Amino acid sequence: MNKTILLTFCLFISAFVHAQNYHLDLTTFEEKYIKEILNEVSQHKDQKEYAKAISGYNEIKKYLDTIPRLIPLKLILNAEKAKLFEKLNQYDSAATLYKDSKEIFNYIPGIIQDLPDIYVDIVIGGIQVDKKTEKYPQAIQELYNALLKVPGDQGKLRSKLYYHLGYTYWYIKDLEQAEKQFRTALSYSNISPFFKNSCYMGLGDALIKKDLDSSLYYYRKAEAYFANKTDKTNYQINQTNIANALILKDSLAKAEKILLNSKEYFENIKLTPYLIPVYTLLANINLNKPDLKSALYYLEMANPITLTKGSLRHREKFFEIYVEYSRTIRDSSTARHFNNQAKAVKDSIFNSEKLTQIEVYEVKHRNEINEIKIAAQNDLIASQIKQRNILLISLIVLGILIFILFLLYKQKLKFQKDLLNKKDELANQQLATLKETQKAERIQAKLDGQQQERSRIAKDLHDSIGGNLAAIKMQLTHLKSEEEQLNYIIKNVDTTYNELRMVSQNLFVQPADKPFTLSLEDLVDQYNSNKTIVELYLFPHNQINFISNTIQTELYPVLKEILTNIFKHAEANYCNINITVHEDYLNLIIEDDGVGFNPSKANLGLGLSNIKTRINTLNGEIQIESIPNTGTTININIPLAHA
C-alpha cells in the first residue's frame, strides 16, 4: 500500500481546514480503509482509467456519508471526482457535483467561515465547467455570490475570485469590466505571487485593443515570474500573448520566433488546446508575409483541435484568419463558410439574453452590497440611540458636579492670585528700600519663584480641567437641542474654557511624525464636505510611504494649494485625486467638475506660481487642462530619480 498517497491526501486536507468544528483525526480502521481505496484510485488515474477512479471515489463517499465530522473530506472528494468527469467531457456530471458541494455550504451555518479555502476552490471548479459549457452569465452570478459570502479579511481568496471574474468577462469581450476585476484582485496586499502575475497577464489581455503598449508592459511584468518556474506552461502561454501583441505592432519576425518556441514546447508535452492560438497566430504571420503555403499548413493543423477543444474566443480568431486566407486565394465559398462560422461565434458571445442576465446579476450584486451596508448602518444608529438614552441623565448630573467643582477651583485660583499679588506688592516695596546688591538678588529670586508658580498654575489649569472642560462643552453642545436649560451652563463653560486657553496656550505639543499616506488622507479629510466630495486613490498604497523625503516635502504643499484653489474658486461638487508610483516616476492627477477657466487667459497668481516652482525644483512637469463650465484636470509627473 502506498503510504505516500494517504500522506499527500492528509496534507491536502490540512492545507484547507482550520476550523475547530471539524475533527479530522482518522481512526486506524478509517486510515487503512481510505488508504487502500486511494491506492487503487491513484493507479487508475495514472493509467487514465478515469471511470474506475470515479468508482473508487464513490466507495469512499458512501463511507463518508455515515460520518458527519468528515464533511471536509466529502467536499474534497466531490471536487476531485468532478475533475475526473471533466477529463471524460461529462460536464453535466461535474457541474452536479460542484452544485451538491455548494448546497452543503448553503445549509450548514458558519461552514464557509470555517472552510473558506475549500468553498472558493469548489466555486472556481464550478465556474470553470460553466465556461467550458459557455454558461458565462451563470459563472458570473456564482462568482458574485461567492464574493458576498467570503469574509472581507480573506484577501488572498477574494483576489482569486476577482481574477476568475476578470477572465470570465474577458471571454465575453467585456474588456472594461475585465480590467476592473483584475485591478481589484491586485489591490489585495496578500494576493499570492502566482495570481498576482496571472492578473498581470489578464491586464495584458484586457488592454490589448485599448492600449497596446500597456498590454505589452503587463505581459513583460508576468514574464519574469513565470520564466523562473520549473513548469514552463504558463510562461509559454504568456509568450504566446506577447507574440500576439508583437504581431499587432508589426514585429512579425520577433513574434514568429517566440511562437515557434511555444509550438515546440506544447507539442512535446502534448498540450493540444494551447496549440490553437499558436497555430492560428503562425498562420496569421505567414498570411502577411505572404507565405500562403505555410499559412494553410498552420490553419489545417489548428482546424481539428479548434473545433473540438477550442474556446469561443479561439474559434472566433481561427475563423477570422481562415476567412482572410480564403479571400486572399479568392476562394469565396470557403470564405463565406468560415465567415458564417465566425458570425455564429460572435452571436453566441454577444447573445442579448446572456448580456441582459449579466447586467441583472451585476445590479443585484450592487443592491445586495448596499443592503448589507444599510443594515449595518441601521444597527449602528440603533446602538448609538440606545447608548445616548442611557447616558443622557448621567452626563447631565456629571456635568453639574464638574461645574460645581470648577467654581470651587476658580475661587481657590482667585485666592492664590490675590495672594500672589500681595506678595508682588510686598516684594516691590522691599526692592525699593533695599540698597545692597545681595538684597536685590534675593528679591529677584523670589520674583522668579513666583513666575514659576504662575507657570505651574497655568499648566495645572490646562492639564487638570482643560481637557475635561472641552469634553463637557462638546457633550453639552450635542444635548443643546434637546435640553434648552443647559444654555446657561454651556455659555459659562465656553467662557471659562476660552480663559483657560489664554492662560495655557503655550503648553500645547506638536503632533508626532506619521506616514505620508496618512498625512495625505488627513489633508483630504480637511477639505471633504457635503458641498464638495473629495476622493483619494493611492497605488500602490504602501509604496508611497517610501518615496524620498524631498518629494514628500514638496508634494504635500502642492496638493494643499491645489485643493485650496478648488474650494475657493471652482465651485466643484466632486474632486478626484489619483497618486500612482510607477517604476521611474510618480504621477499625480487632480480632476474636478467645477466652473473651470481658460488657462491661456488666466493670470499666473502667487499660488499657481508657487506650485510650478515646487514642481520645477523636483525636475517635474505639470499640465493644466481646463474648459469653462466643464472642469479642470491637473496632471503632474515627478521623476523618482530626483531623490
Per-residue pLDDT reduced to its tens digit, 368-396: 555 455 455 556 666 777 887 888 888 88
Task: Work out the average pLDDT over 168-175.
Answer: 87
Tell me the pLDDT tens digit for each residue of 289-299.
889 999 899 98
Partners of 54 in the β-ladder: none
Grid coordinates given for 239 = 509568450
Sign of CA dihedral 510, 511, 514, 517: negative
85 close to 129: Cβ distance less than 8 angstroms: no
Q: What DSSP element (H or E) covers 638?
A: strand 631-639
Q: Residue 623 above 90 pLDDT? A: yes
Tell me the pLDDT tens digit for each residue of 514-541.
899 999 999 999 888 888 899 999 999 8
139-153, 156-170, 333-347, 527-541, range with the lowest pLDDT: 333-347
Check residue 605 and give its pLDDT. Answer: 62
Task: Work out the average pLDDT over 88-97.
Answer: 81
396 close to 490: Cβ distance less than 8 angstroms: no
Give CA 146 to chain center in angstroms.
17
3-state class of 577 per DSSP? strand
The Cα–Cα gap between 247 and 255 comes to: 6
Per cent of the chain over pLDDT 90 is 29
The Cα–Cα gap between 92 and 130 comes to: 10
Q: Residue for cell digits 500612482?
A: 580
The residue with greater pLDDT, 283 or 19, is 283
Asked, as a colleague might, if the bond just before 540 is cis with ω within 30 of 0, I would say yes
Check residue 584 and give its pLDDT. Answer: 92
Tell me the pLDDT tens digit for each residue of 565-612.
898 888 899 999 999 999 999 999 999 999 988 777 655 566 788 899
The Cα–Cα gap between 387 and 396 comes to: 14
Grid coordinates given for 503 = 492662560
Residues 6 or more apart whose Cβ sits within 8 Å of residue 468: 402
pLDDT category, 441, cuts 50, 70, 90?
Answer: low
The Cα angle at residue 474 between residues 468 and 479, in degrees rounded to 5:
125
Question: Exposed, middle or buried by CB within 10 Å (0-12, 13-18, 19+), for 623?
Answer: exposed
Check residue 434 and give its pLDDT. Answer: 77
Tell me the pLDDT tens digit for each residue of 453-492.
544 565 455 445 655 566 566 666 666 555 555 666 666 6
3-state class of 579 per DSSP? strand
> What is the pTM (predicted TM-score) of this model?
0.53
Highest mean pLDDT: which of 326-340, 345-359, 516-530?
516-530
3-state class of 589 per DSSP? strand
Check residue 20 and give its pLDDT. Answer: 42
The Cα–Cα gap between 449 and 369 comes to: 66
pLDDT category, 31, cuts 50, 70, 90?
Answer: confident
Task: Work out the average pLDDT over 546-563.
Answer: 91
Sign of CA dihedral 262, 268, 269, 271: positive
Q: Residue 443 above 50 pLDDT? A: no
1-10, 125-134, 431-440, 608-617, range with the lowest pLDDT: 1-10
Task: Work out the average pLDDT over 272-294.
Answer: 91
The residue with greater pLDDT, 609 or 509, is 609
